[in-house]
A = this chain, B = another copy of it.
Amino acid sequence: LVGGSVALGLRGRGWHVQGTDVDGARVTEALERKVIDAAGLDPDSEITFVAVPVRAVAEAARRALQHTTGLVTDVASVKGPVVVAVDSPRFIGGHPMAGSELEGLDGADPDMFTGAVWVVTPTPATDDASLATLAAIVSDLGAEMVALTAERHDALVAVVSHVPHLTAATLMRVADERATEHAALLRLAAGGFRDMTRIASGHPAIWPDICFENQSAIVTGLDALIEGLGEMRTAVAQADRTQLLRYLEQARAGRANLPARGVRAEMLSEVRIPIPDRPGMIAEVTMLAAELGVNLSDIEVAHSAEGDRGVLILLVETERTELFRGGLLARGYRPAISRLQ
């Protein structure tokens, strides 16, 4: 699904795309459907996307690093173990936060990543040029890059993705158990319940690996949710109107703060940062943006007029530029900011 979508997206943008799969029949299918141009790894490839289940990423990534000279990235939902297992300046963990209920090439969609967040997890060892290339490709696929450490990524997706998934399944399971006794129950399941349990309709096969690879963050997240539900139970059982309203108001305000997708150009500013002569700079700047909640709508590395030194060009929401400028100055950068017209 994700590999096919990346392939279609890049082919549509003029790239030559080769692909391989443990299942030879799928390679044939991808060729026939014109998802890829040719079979097999290309030793001269600029980038290789490893789109395999999380447990198989490390081995496949190491093989790609061995057989190609370009950068290698992956698309799995858990990043910590992968980043530890694949220690190369040319490997950068990735997680495009987009998907579909469909599976395999049937669901492949060149526009799957439009407006989606694409997390990348560079390390201090990451090669700057590789990160700049990955950033440009992620932007080109229409996604918003968010740079995080692998550990931070895993803790956050546990909260916004893995725990909600297990919760949807549990809500559905609780309802289902009562439905055996009370056939009317499922007829009463209206829009809200359907929305909340939709993700439980996906295929379970990928989830055990995700849960075990991200075990401690998920257990921590489940504990926090169970504690929060216990507090909610107390407020209901004690008829504590003030506390109950406080919880619900906090949730409502938080929901209203979920970032809107798709920022209009007139709300954006361009931030140009001369790239100083030290490695890891792009990783540091992009991670700083993520820490400050500054969304990077576009990332580009341009050569400056002065010669071989480069300039990192970022598009950010205008209302966040002062915050971002403060952070950049504090880290020793010299940003120049101008509003887009």
- B-binding residues in A (CB < 8 A): 97-99, 116-117, 119, 144, 146, 148, 152-153, 155-157, 159-161, 163-176, 178-179, 182-205, 207-208, 211-212, 215, 218-219, 221-226, 228-230, 232-233, 235-237, 239, 241, 244-245, 247-259, 290-295
- Number of chain copies forming the complex: 2
Determine if A176 and B251 form an interchain contact, defined as CB atoms under 8 angstroms apart.
yes
Q: Report chain B residues within 8 Å CB of A291.
A: 182-184
Q: A199-B195, A201-B256 are in contact. Are A160 and B185 (CB under 8 A)?
A: yes
Question: Can you list 23 pairs linking A and B with CB atoms under 8 Å apart?
Answer: A97-B188, A98-B191, A119-B188, A144-B187, A146-B184, A159-B175, A161-B193, A167-B229, A170-B229, A170-B232, A170-B247, A183-B293, A192-B199, A200-B248, A200-B251, A200-B252, A200-B254, A201-B252, A204-B245, A208-B244, A215-B239, A225-B229, A226-B233
With A170-B229, A174-B224, A200-B252 given, name 13 new contacts (CB 8 A). Answer: A98-B191, A117-B188, A146-B188, A156-B185, A167-B229, A172-B250, A173-B250, A197-B255, A201-B255, A204-B249, A222-B229, A223-B233, A226-B226
Q: A174-B224, A226-B229, A233-B226 are in contact. Are A156 and B169 (CB under 8 A)?
A: no
Determine if B184 and A232 form an interchain contact, defined as CB atoms under 8 angstroms apart.
no
